Amino acid sequence: MFGTLTVFFAALVNSVIVTGVVAWHEGSAPFIGWFVAEVAICTVRLVVLAVSLHRAERGRSTPTDLYIWISVLWALSIGYGGFITITTGDWVSTVIVCLSSAAMAGGACLRNYAAPRFVVLLLTCNLGPCCLAAILSDQPALLVVLVQTPLFMVGMTAGAFRLNRALVATMQAERAMVRLALRDPLTGLLNRTGLEQGFAGRAGDALFYIDLDGFKRINDRYGHAAGDGLLQTAADRLRQVAGPDALVTRIGGDEFVVVAADHDNHSAIALGNDIAASLREPHAIDGDLVICGASVGIAVHDGGVRPLADLMARADRSLYRVKAMGGGARLADVERQGELLPF
């Protein structure tokens, strides 16, 4: 709707000028009525576009369906003008109107290639009446329009679909790049950059800094493929326990961070228990049931503006104390005089 607005405004100005000149040249009621209708349609299109821009800037829904139907009505108006002009036999008006119609058909293709089926509809409404007028005309030479128009429509439609495929491929590539930039490729969890972007800093957020106990031993014994599988399983368990609204992140190696909303210190400890319990569930590796526990440091954001780095540092200090004492435990926020508790 908002792309190539230069083409949009040029088409509106052109259609009003052309219909006005032809109405003045012909001076008959059908052409005057066409001019009045064209001015009304263009005015409505401008109003709808302005409203849509205003709503889009505020993140609200836009009247896209209305805009589409008005665009179709505009194309029908151009087609009607081409029909009544060709049937008059006035070559001056015919040249002016048909040249304008062809130019605006090209502009419609350029502007709407993201919706190629819509392009087909606009071309049909715009150029179809010209073919009918050529059939009804007493000029046999005009029947060449019956060959020109289909060729033009096929070519422009094919071009619109080709541009559409290129646009979709570009958008998919951009999404893939964003995903690679924000996601850990092994587990599909957020990476540190994704965590920083997703962190809202709301009061009541709890951050859990998690380190897998014994992961290196398992990785060395069973190999890197088994270690990767264990990390993927751990990621799946963290997603399930933390819930869909949590930010679940792999920081690197066997370290994870979970940010969960609406938690005080008590409920954060409960969630920490659930996280560690899920990670202690056995993993099946090469026919063996392997247990890889977890140590968890907790920090609770209880209000004010506190950056993510501050929460992570506090949770990391708690985790460091846990690991220094042998791991396999969780420690509540050190700033809240947390107590070291085994799982």
**Catalytically active residues, by annotation:** 254
Q: How far apart are CA 15 and CA 230, in angstroms?
A: 66
Q: What tokens does 196 get?
A: 């920083």
Q: Could you give the C-alpha distances from 46 to 13, 70, 202, 269, in angstroms and in order?
A: 11, 10, 41, 58
Mind spelling out the 3-state secondary structure of the chain? CCCCHHHHHHHHHHHHHHHHHHHHHHCCHHHHHHHHHHHHHHHHHHHHHHHHHHHHHCCCCCCHHHHHHHHHHHHHHHHHHHHHHHHHCCHHHHHHHHHHHHHHHHHHHHHCCCCHHHHHHHHHHHHHHHHHHHHHCCCHHHHHHHHHHHHHHHHHHHHHHHHHHHHHHHHHHHHHHHHHHHECCCCCCECHHHHHHHCCCCCCCEEEEEEECCHHHHHHHHCHHHHHHHHHHHHHHHHHHHCCCCEEEEEECCEEEEEECCCCHHHHHHHHHHHHHHHCCCEEECCEEECCCEEEEEEECCCCCCCHHHHHHHHHHHHHHHHHCCCCEEECCHHHCCCEEEC
The single residue listed with the structure tokens 């947390």 is: 338
Q: Could you give the C-alpha distances from 152 to 40, 155, 156, 322, 331, in angstroms and in order?
A: 29, 5, 6, 74, 72
